[in-house]
Amino acid sequence: MNLSHAPCQLSIDLNALRENYRLIDRETGNARVSAVVKYNAYGLGIEAVVRTLWDEGCKTFLTAQLDEALQVRSVLADAEVIALNGLMSGEEQVYLENNLLPTLNDPGQLQRWADFCRAYDRTLPAALHFDTGMSRLGFAPAEYRELAEKTDRLNGIDCRYLFSHLACAEQADHPMNIAQRDEFARVIRAFPAMTHALAASSGVFLGPEWHFGMVRTGLALYGGNPNLKMTNPMRQVVKLKGKILQIREIDAPETVGYGALYTAPGKQKIATIGAGYADGYPRRLSDQAVVMYQGQALPVVGRVSMDLTTVDVTDVPGVVAGDMLDLIGPGQDINDLAVQADTIPYEILTSLGARYPRVYEGE
């Protein structure tokens, strides 16, 4: 895409990504840091992100789906790549041929992988996932306790990792954090040879008792605040700019946008920028968000539509069509925008549209 033609521009600061990785690495002490790069590295571009993190010393990458793991493998021949969503029937050969690790989420998947290892007379790597409180994927408590008594079921498998996942880590004082930590500590005693991993981004900042042998970091790497009650320690990685396409002068009682959601109280200048919900700028921001221009907060007025958003620029002298406004950037990061949209920064990142270019700073 021609940058000069694009009405939006997404900038990815790879130096900030590097600094975030280093901060997490310092925070975790002896625990190894792995990177979660599912959904195209949270929308930021898997190739640039994994190459940058690899150069910083990250050697283990996690995805949700097998196809995402194949994307990482196409970029990094020597990385350890783990798909988290489980071993589906018929996928065994793909994992073998591409040197990928499946995460075994139930006894059936464990048996299928063990049978495959025996059929090929190979000891093949995998991760196990025990559910200690999320009630989503993973061995249920009764299943992993039974496995702890019958560890011979793991014979023939190179079980490198034992995972669980915290449900409430972004709330540091939530009692489930201690309950899950203690349950995980109890059950892993039966599996001492594996690398144990409980903490994702938020869990890292709960303290060393949650770090175990490895942490799995995603959102914090990309600038998300890992703890709702502390000042965000992470550097901002993402900036999103929208170009002003036109400026209109209106007066009361003229309205702006779909549904006549906003009525001008008097004379105003309204700038229309080329960004909307198709670009990942949520419709929920209608008539309540702000964008930034040279450090000044400007209110979004009217309905955010598919391709366009309208902004009150009455108090900005000299602004003209072609100028760029900061939707995400200095003075307003993904966490701030998430609060305005009544959502979470994960959704902001992964919704960023595919039709505008990504510019990488610090390559």
**pLDDT tens-digit readout, 274-323:** 999 999 999 999 999 999 999 899 999 999 999 999 999 999 988 999 99
Known binder of ligand: residue 306? yes
Asked if CATH classification 3.10.105.10 holds for the domain at 238-361, the reply, yes or no, is: no
Averaged pLDDT, 98-109: 98
In angstroms, the CA 216 to CA 200 distance is 5
Q: pLDDT at position 154, please? A: 95
DSSP notation for 273-333? ES--GGGT--GGGTTT-EEEETTEEEEB-S---SS-EEEE-TT-TT--TT-EEEEEBTTB-
Instruction: Return the structure tokens found at 221.
Output: 């790497």
What is this structure's pTM? 0.93
3-class DSSP state for residue 211?
coil
What Cα–Cα distance (Å) separates residue 337 from each residue in 94, 236, 291?
39, 13, 9
Q: pLDDT at position 363, please? A: 74
Q: Taking phi first (over 0 means left), then psi (-120 to 50 degrees means alpha), and beta for anything else, what does residue 100 get?
A: beta
Domains 31-222 and 238-361 share a fold: no
- Cα 301 to the center of its chain, rounded Å: 29
Known binder of ligand: residue 355? no
Q: What is the CA radius of gyration of the chain?
A: 24
Determine which one of 38, 239, 241, 243 is catalytic. Answer: 38
Q: How crowded is residue 265: how many other Cβ atoms within 10 Å of its Cβ?
A: 9
Does 258 qualify as catalytic in the annotation? yes
* Per-residue pLDDT reduced to its tens digit, 143-156: 999 999 999 999 99
In angstroms, the CA 226 to CA 219 distance is 7
Domain 31-222, CATH? 3.20.20.10
For the cut 90, the answer to whether the pLDDT of residue 23 exceeds it is: yes
Q: pLDDT at position 4, please? A: 62
Q: Phi, psi (5° rounding) for residue 76?
A: -120, 110
What is the residue extent of each domain of the chain?
31-222, 238-361
Determine which one of 39, 59, 258, 269 is catalytic. Answer: 258
Instruction: Return the structure tokens found at 325.
Output: 């406004």
Q: Which of 202, 211, 138 is nearest to 174 (CA)?
A: 202
* Per-residue pLDDT reduced to its tens digit, 245-284: 999 999 999 999 999 999 999 999 999 999 999 999 999 9
